[in-house]
A and B are shown apart, each in its own frame.
Chain A
Amino acid sequence: MIKINNIYKSFGNFKVLQGVNLNVEENKILSVVGKSGTGKSVLLKSILGLITYDKGNIEIDGINTNGFSEAEFNKYIRHKMTLVFQNGALWDSMTVGANIDLALQIQKHLDVTEREKRIKESLEAVGLINIRNVYPNELSGGMLKRAAIARAIAMKPKYLLYDEPTTGLDPILSNIINNLIKKLNVEMGITSLIISHDIKGVESISDDVAMLYEGKIILTCKAKEMWEQNNQIFNNFIRGKIT
């Protein structure tokens, strides 16, 4: 379980997170929605320790990561949690296959047969089996995104954080990715935290939904009940109403 307790983060004088509270329950899918620039990506990066937050704490499986060093994040957190970056962040000096292989080799120290198997499986899962030997800069935006997802799921982590996994994908691909996230959650029990603007997708796969607004989580609810909320900001947001 990921427990985010009262997190603050500013860049200089610019306040981004101002007391975020959020729990991600074991084996569940939680989606966070919110306007562009409200700090959703910053929140995900804080959980993994890529950004150090100013105040508050984050507990992952009971371990408080406040003040953790890089080495402690590597040891206690990053081997069981992977992030799919918003822009993919594939390593562009190597092929997609090598991208997937790198962490399997250096972090997990797996042997060649197991690595091969995982590379094939994960590329298949995102429908990209034939781009294994292609370099990231030769891919389309949607392919990049899926390759990044393949790289993350190959790690078979306990937690997966997805930063806008379906943004920029056509409706069919979005469905494929959403189904994949659900399938990984159901079959492998991967707890997922998703940042998404794809409201229909959010509704269909999430257990819970939360909204980040002006540096705070202003609402958390069951995905099934997301159309019956009393929060006006949330209601307008998910309906795309201009206020």
Chain B
Amino acid sequence: MSDSALSGSPAPTARTMFAALQLDTRLLGMIGAFVVLCLAFNVVTDGAFLTPRNIFNLTIQTVSVAIMATGMVFIIVTRHIDLSVGSLLATCSAIMAMTQTVVTPEWLGLGLNHPLTLPITILVGVVAGVLIGAFHGWLVGYLAIPAFIVTLGGLLVWRNVAWFITNGQTIGPLDANFTKIGGIGGTMGETWSWVFGIVAVLAALSLQYVARRRRAAHGFPVKPFWAELTISGLVSASILGFVATLNAYEIPERRLERMFEARGETLPDGMTMGYGIPFSVLLLIAVAVIMTLVAQRTRLGRYVFAAGGNPDAAELSGINTRFLTVKVFAIMGGLCALAGAVASARLGFSTNDIGTLDELRVIAAAVIGGTALSGGIGTIYGAILGALIMQSLQSGMAMVGVDAPLQNIVVGVVLVIAVLIDIIYRKRTGE
């Protein structure tokens, strides 16, 4: 971005005005591709694709892969790869399933559906994931075994460790509170969703305001005021539009009746209620915010990108790149546990094949989202959008009735084309 574009040329053209917004053109391209994809599926499915119901389902189907994709960004940015995430998810899921069905109710004597079961289970799962991830990171960072090999081994090991933990059985039903983080079984309801949406809008606006004021205080160039307003408007509209859509998906009458019965009330005539934001999506949003904060505002994040951009330079700057590798894989492990919690909660039980092939989906999401395998480049929001695009493609094709083998062929081709477009884009912009 040149400085002349910031101060604005005397005769504003559409081009200079667009430049003044200082938007991430790569992100815009992805959003554009996503919108086109959705509209196309919507036409082919006679409007069934862009219904609140389908959007709701798409969102909850994306969460598990998206959570892991945020961690994969760090892994790939530091020039590593993690092929074990699907298996690690399975091991964490198995550990959490055993924790909530055996450990807390029987060993700890808390009984079934105790309120402490959920936090204990998540804690145990995340600790296990972090430890296993850190172990991978230690093998990669300190023993210098290529990450490809360590995690290829991990792919086999953890899938089958999961099998031993559960004796090959499907474990369930899971804790009633636990299953609420899976998706449709746990949502915020309309009112709280609006509250959340408004808080999110206020937070976004104040962040934007604070950033602008700080830049101005340092005397750095700032965007023109109208550009800031345009961005504020777009961000607010997107957040509130998202909430409105999820609220518009109404809880079926029968289910609503049962909910009221459970509280000893009867459903008033003609009353409808929307689902609102699922707790799993809330978890994804929290993960996205924290991971973005780590990436952009902490030393750890800065070192991740520095080590990815030039490992020697990072080392010569006094960064402990080996320990950094341990941390990055540990984060990945923790996120696999969270993803495992969401995935098993959505199913209501933990199966042996849970998370199978997720490593490919997660890597594809990160890469479609603009993470460069050569290292040093990638964004959290890109990876989440990448996961959403992958899921939309898959669900859309399923709705249209494309055979499963053909679906996979299309996804594979799209992955390769997406990376090709990315390479061409980066060459053009010299990024």
Partners in one complex: no
Report A's interface with B, CB cutoff 8 A.
none
